[in-house]
Structure 1
Amino acid sequence: MRLDRLVSIIMILLDKKRIPAQELADKFEVSLRTIYRDIDAIDIAGIPIRSIPGVGGGFEIMPKYKVDSNVFSRNDLSSILLGLSSVSGIVQSDTFIHALEKVKTLIPDEHARDIEFKANQIHIDMSPWIGNIQIQNNLEVIKQALHAVKLVTFSYRDHRGNITERTVEPYQLVLKSNRWYCHSYCLTKKDYRLFRLSRISNVRTLSQSFDVRAYEKPRLDFDDRLETIQTKVKIRIHKSLVDRVLDFCTFDCLIEDGDAHYILEFPFIENDFYYNTILSFGNKCECLSPAHIRAEVINRIDAILSIYI
């Protein structure tokens, strides 16, 4: 979001005496033209920015200038506090905490209560009720390696249970669908890979640094591919399962079938994850069609049953 970037640029300029335009562009992964527009917007907002040409030049805030708290509206400050509070809760870091404290100093005393109330209207907590406590440790180790531009090594268990040793150049931490990933260049596979943090163990940072490559962002949107591989299965569920199936579809998909059941078209991909999802519904779900998926569900139930008989 542009507001986030503008606030970050202001904080950087307050913290540093001078910074080149190209460094800002690289930091925020935008063009130089975008940075120049941002600087103009900050200047128009009342913060005097001057440009120093030549070697060692860049942008800086005019000497002896202090940010006026009136530069930001109450809604601006509420949004900034909400964003920083959420990020600091997800990624434990003194940097975010210090940035949060800096922003709080911009709040006029007479508006402090109202702004704090608005900032607390949304609370984001990504920590699981129960789960793999190792994820937070993996997150912190990789975050520090990212900052220091150091290689990371770890053991990785893929979705089939195979374990391999990996050494990677970490480039980005990704939070997608409540799961943390590290997008890295894998020196073992000689290509970019997206590693799920819950599958990582024995992670450690090496002393060896690396030269940053021409970074390729991970592809996180698969809507076009889903259209070709996703199908619908008709299932009949007990009403007690509604809360779970709503993670996959909407209320509009539910058709009443008697007093205690619903029939719906459930989005489905023919892989272990979706078959296991259907099976996890237990005896409160019946797969009605198509016939080949229903048959495969029965085969998997028989395989489970054979373990106990």
Structure 2
Amino acid sequence: MKVERLLAIIIKLLNKNRMTAKELAEEFEVSVRTVQRDIDSINMAGIPIVSYKGSNGGYGILEEYKISTGLFNDLEYELLLTTLEGVYKTYDDKQLKQIIEKLASIKVNDRKQHSPILLDFGGWGPTKKRTEKVNTIKKSIESNKVIAFQYIDTNGSYTEREIEPITLILKVNKWYVYSFCKLRNEYRLFKLGRMRNIKLTNQDIEQRENTDEYNFYHHDQKNVTLSLKFTHHALNQLEDYFEFDDLDFSEDGWIYLTETFPEDEWVYRMILSLGDQVEVLEPQHIRHIIKEKAKKICEKY
């Protein structure tokens, strides 16, 4: 097909400095005249291919249009491409895909080196609905329009919200959107997983005083310093929450940790998820909360 041949010619010229019409004709098994018409079509599409005369002549893409492969060594190039491909698994964006395709068309020393790192931000579950939410919020930011949705809080209560999105945030496989909330009349962070029935409205986002991007470590939640005691059977799960360098592997056979967290439902669920493999030593009010929650679990069975 002509379109496939045009794309193949572009990639050839990106990977080589110059090729003659004859070389291209032989490569794609077409006539020289067909190649010349293809070059005209590519130029009309906005990709600047020029003809060079002389013994080293031929067709080539303007150097200003190319990405310099000298910017990266083999490992740097592969790591950049791997990172973008990992993000693309959870952020299905047309522009991001185009960047990946452009990078993939570059030869860096024939790409003999492979990245020693595999990055995948896609999560374990289905991604279609998450991708739809991300794309709707992205469209809201680009079009300067308010979005409306139902939000479910940690108690399971629903509220109707209208927000003015500022920034999409991907952190530890979770998507958030930092926005101005019109219901609360303040800037807030929303978890995409708790947002339902997201709709783009016709309302324009108001021009407000600029605010700093959300900092995960500065919020109005109170913090609590936990002193925890684990069995060695908890190690498989502990690596999901903590760095092993922060753990104290005691001679008494237990593993200890003292760490500060925002006190919320996440902390309680994290402790409960470890079952009988963890004990809260301090503070006492957290011990009481976990005890009461465990009682309610037992009552269900």
TM-score (norm 2): 0.67
Give the letter aligned to residue 298 of structure 2.
Answer: L
2:228·2:278 contact (CA, 8 Å) conserved in 1? Answer: no
Larger Rg: 2
Matched, 1:230 2:207: no
Q: Which amino acid aligns with 2:110?
A: A
| 2:189 alignment counterpart | 194
Counterpart CA distance in 1 for 2:144 and 2:218 is 33
In the alignment, the residues of structure 2 paired with residue 302 and residue 64 of structure 1 have an alpha-carbon distance, to the nearest angstrom, of 70
Q: Paired residue for 2:213?
A: 218
**1:74 lines up with 2:73 in the alignment:** yes
2:90–2:131 CA contact under 8 A, matched in 1: no
SS across alignment from 2:254 = strand
CA–CA separation in structure 2 for the residues paired with 1:185 and 1:70: 42
2:226 maps to a residue whose letter is K
Q: Distance in 2 between matches of 1:208 and 1:295?
A: 47
TM-score w.r.t. length of structure 1: 0.65
How do 1:85-234 and structure 2 match up within 5 A? 85-107=85-107, 111-114=109-112, 117-118=114-115, 121-130=116-125, 134-222=129-217, 229-234=223-228
| Deviation at residue 84 of structure 1 after TM alignment | 2.8
Counterparts of 1:216 and 1:183 in 2: how far apart (Å)? 11
Note if contact 1:239-1:262 (Cα within 8 Å) is conserved in structure 2. yes
Please give the residue correspondences for 1:278-297 in structure 2 after superposition, counting only pairs within 5 Å.
278-297=271-290
Structure 1 residue 290 displacement after superposition:
4.4
Picking from 237, 249, 252, the partner of 1:244 is 237
Aligned to 2:248: 254
Which 4+ residue blocks in structure 1 deviate beyond 6 angstroms?
A: 223-226
Q: Per the alignment, in what secondary structure is the counterpart of residue 129 of structure 1?
A: coil
| Distance verdict in 2 for CA 1:205–1:68, change over 3 Å | closer
C-alpha contact (below 8 Å) 2:86/2:121 kept by paired residues: no
Q: Distance in 2 between matches of 1:272 and 1:224?
A: 15
Q: Is the 8 A contact 1:86 1:124 kept in 2?
A: yes
Structure 1: how far apart are the matches of 2:174 and 2:165? 17
Q: Deviations over 1:69-109 (max 9, x none)?
A: 4542324533442343233233111211112222334425x
Tell me the amino acid that sits aligned with residue 81 of structure 1.
L
- Identical positions, percent: 24
Maintained 8 Å contact 2:280/2:287? yes
User: Residue type matched to 2:183 in 1?
Assistant: T
Change (3 A) 1:150 1:67: same
Determine whether 1:267 maps to 2:265: no
Q: How far has the Cα of 1:239 moved from its partner?
A: 1.8
Inter-partner Cα distance in structure 1 for 2:296 and 2:112: 59
CA-based RMSD of the aligned residues comes to: 3.1
Instruction: Sort the Cα spacing of 1:272 and 1:206 in 2 relative to 1 into closer, same or farther, 3 A.
Output: closer
Separation of aligned partners in 2, 1:200 and 1:181: 10
CA contact (8 A) 2:150 2:196 kept: yes
Contact 1:255 1:262 survives alignment (8 Å):
yes
Q: Distance in 1 between matches of 2:67 and 2:213?
A: 39
Q: Secondary structure at the match of 2:99?
A: helix
Determine if contact 2:89/2:120 at 8 Å carries over to the other structure: yes
Aligned to 2:25: none
